[in-house]
């Protein structure tokens, strides 16, 4: 999400202090980016299942405007690629191994709604669980983590984790750019006026 101001648009506001226009624009943009980032962190708590992790929050950054480049950008760092599908929805594919995903309602997830690697390993090491394909099946689509229930004739197995997925669908849950656009549109005008007042109050005559 980008924020920009054309300095000549401040002419009427600043009048004889026109030379302060770049300073006013720069400060208004940077204050708006700072405010928008805080607002996005609040929005993510509501719209991302379980809330954002610390890693996700640290990935939300902004590039400040400069006096000779009156444009700033609010963005997620490139090493948080999962945010693209959370924001836009779409298909998630693994880079190397196949995806591991929980069967809905069959395994407890962490507070962020995620399945951790340690969780899978710890369950697989328990005597009433196994990782593989049931009954010696050759069907790779059945590969996963299974839980053994009951004994003898009442013995049953159920898959609780998929470990063979080539891809999965991610629904759009966090419309970050839309939220940021609405917030910045409202906040920018306020920050322009505040920056202009500061320029006037600190001006040297």
Nearest to 86 by CA among 118, 120, 60, 119: 60
Let me know whether 177 and 82 are in one domain: yes
Confidence at residue 60, expressed as pLDDT on a 0 to 100 scale: 94
Let me know whether 10 and 84 are in one domain: yes
Is 174 in contact with 43 (CB distance < 8 Å)? yes
- At 6, the pLDDT band (50, 70, 90 cuts) reads low
Confidence at residue 4, expressed as pLDDT on a 0 to 100 scale: 62
Rounded distance, CA 57 to CA 192, Å? 27
Provide the percentage of residues in the chain whose pLDDT is more than 70: 80
Q: What is the pLDDT of residues 157-180, one digit of tens each?
A: 888 887 765 656 667 788 888 899
Confidence at residue 122, expressed as pLDDT on a 0 to 100 scale: 84
Let me know whether 143 and 184 are in one domain: no
Confidence at residue 73, expressed as pLDDT on a 0 to 100 scale: 93
Q: What is the pLDDT of residues 50-103, one digit of tens each?
A: 788 898 999 999 999 998 888 999 999 988 888 888 888 877 665 656 667 788
Confidence at residue 187, expressed as pLDDT on a 0 to 100 scale: 92
Let me know whether 129 and 146 are in one domain: yes
Query: Model pTM?
Result: 0.61
Higher pLDDT, 104 or 74: 74
Q: What residues are paired with 71 via a beta bridge?
A: 4
Q: What is the pLDDT of residues 11-64, one digit of tens each?
A: 655 655 667 778 888 899 999 999 999 999 999 988 887 788 898 999 999 999
Rounded distance, CA 81 to CA 84, Å? 6
Let me know whether 179 and 159 are in one domain: no
Confidence at residue 143, expressed as pLDDT on a 0 to 100 scale: 79
Higher pLDDT, 114 or 187: 187
Q: What is the pLDDT of residues 179-204, one digit of tens each?
A: 999 999 899 889 988 888 887 777 66
- At 3, the pLDDT band (50, 70, 90 cuts) reads low
Let me know whether 32 and 78 are in one domain: yes
Let me know whether 161 and 197 are in one domain: no
Let me know whether 148 and 181 are in one domain: no
Range of the domain at 102: 94-166
Let me know whether 153 and 186 are in one domain: no
Let me know whether 75 and 33 are in one domain: yes
Confidence at residue 198, expressed as pLDDT on a 0 to 100 scale: 83
Let me know whether 9 and 73 are in one domain: yes
Is 123 in contact with 159 (CB distance < 8 Å)? no
Let me know whether 52 and 144 are in one domain: no
19 to 10, 22, 135, 166: CA distances (angstroms)? 10, 7, 79, 58
Rounded distance, CA 188 to CA 200, Å? 18
Confidence at residue 29, expressed as pLDDT on a 0 to 100 scale: 92
Total count of domains within the chain: 2
Is 150 in contact with 23 (CB distance < 8 Å)? no
């Amino acid at each position: 999400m980008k924020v920009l101001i054309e300095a000549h648009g401040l002419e009427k506001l600043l009048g004889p202090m026109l030379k302060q226009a770049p300073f006013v624009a720069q400060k208004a943009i940077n204050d708006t980016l700072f405010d928008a980032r805080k607002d996005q962190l609040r929005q993510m708590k509501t719209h991302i299942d379980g809330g954002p992790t610390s890693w996700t929050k640290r990935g939300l950054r902004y590039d400040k405007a400069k006096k000779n480049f009156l444009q700033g950008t609010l963005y997620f760092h490139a090493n948080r690629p999962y945010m693209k599908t959370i924001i836009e929805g779409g298909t998630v594919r693994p880079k190397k191994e196949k995806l591991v995903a929980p069967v809905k309602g069959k395994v407890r997830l962490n507070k962020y709604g995620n399945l951790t690697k340690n969780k899978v390993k710890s369950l697989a090491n328990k005597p009433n669980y196994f990782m593989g394909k049931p009954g010696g099946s050759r069907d790779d689509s059945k590969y996963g983590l299974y839980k053994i229930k009951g004994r003898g004739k009442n013995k049953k197995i159920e898959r609780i984790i998929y470990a063979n997925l080539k891809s999965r669908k991610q629904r759009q849950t966090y419309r970050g750019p839309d939220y940021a656009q609405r917030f910045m549109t409202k906040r920018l005008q306020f920050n322009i006026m505040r920056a202009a007042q500061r320029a006037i109050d600190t001006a040297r005559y």
